[in-house]
Structure 1
Amino acid sequence: MSEIVSELSGVIRRFGAKTVLDGIDLTIRKGEFIALLGHSGCGKSTLLRIVGGLDDEAEGSVRTVPETAVAFQEPRLFPWRSVLENVSLGLRLPDPEARAREVLEEVGLGDRATAWPRELSGGQRQRVALARALVRDPSLLLLDEPFSALDALTRLTAQDLVRRLIAAHGPAVLMVTHDVEEALLLADRVLVMADGGFVHDERLDLPQPRRRDDPEIVRRRAHLLGLLGVIQEDRSA
Structure 2
Amino acid sequence: MKATDPATDTAAHHRFGDVVASATGVRRVFGDHVVLDGVDLQIRTGEFVALLGRSGCGKSTLLRILAGLDDGAEGEVVGGTEPAVVFQDPRLFPWRRVLDNVALGLRTPDVKGRATEVLAEVGLAGRERAWPRQLSGGQRQRVALARALVREPDLLLLDEPFSALDALTRISAQALVSDLVATHRPAVLMVTHDVEEALLLADRVLVMDAGHLVHDERIDVARPRRRDHPEIVSRRAALLGLLGVDEAATPA
TM-score by length of 1: 0.97
- Give 2:82's aligned residue: 67
Q: 1:37 aligns to what SS in structure 2?
A: strand
User: Structure 2 regions of 5+ residues with no counterpart?
Assistant: 1-16
Does 2:113 correspond to 1:108? Answer: no
- Give 2:206's aligned residue: 191
Rounded to whole Å, the distance in 2 between the matches of 1:156 and 1:184 is 13
Q: 2:108 aligns with which of 73, 93, 111?
A: 93
Q: 1:200 aligns with which of 212, 215, 232?
A: 215
Shift in Å at residue 64 of structure 1?
2.1
- Give 2:14's aligned residue: none
Structure 1 runs of 4+ with >3 Å offset: none
Rounded to whole Å, the distance in 2 between the matches of 1:17 and 1:192 is 23
Shift in Å at residue 234 of structure 1?
8.6
Q: 1:16 aligns with which of 31, 45, 49?
A: 31
Does 2:131 correspond to 1:122? Answer: no
The amino acid of 1:120's aligned partner reads L
TM-score by length of 2: 0.91
The amino acid of 1:149's aligned partner reads A
User: Retained in 1: the 8 A contact 2:88–2:163?
Assistant: yes
Provide Cα deviations, 1:187-232, integer angstroms capped at 9, x if missing partner. Answer: 0000000021111100011111100010110000000000001112
Does 2:205 correspond to 1:161? Answer: no
Does 2:49 correspond to 1:34? Answer: yes
Does 2:71 correspond to 1:78? Answer: no
RMSD, aligned CA = 1.2
Does 2:20 correspond to 1:5? Answer: yes
Q: How many residues align?
A: 234
Shift in Å at residue 158 of structure 1?
0.3
- Give 1:133's aligned residue: 148
Q: 2:213 aligns to what SS in structure 1?
A: strand
Instruction: Give identity over the alignment, percent.
Output: 71
Query: Compared with structure 1, are the counterparts of its residues 67 and 38 closer, same or farther at alpha carbon in structure 2 (3 Å cutoff)?
Result: same
User: Structure 1 regions of 5+ residues with no counterpart?
Assistant: none
Shift in Å at residue 159 of structure 1?
0.3
Shift in Å at residue 167 of structure 1?
0.6
Q: 1:110 aligns to what SS in structure 2?
A: coil
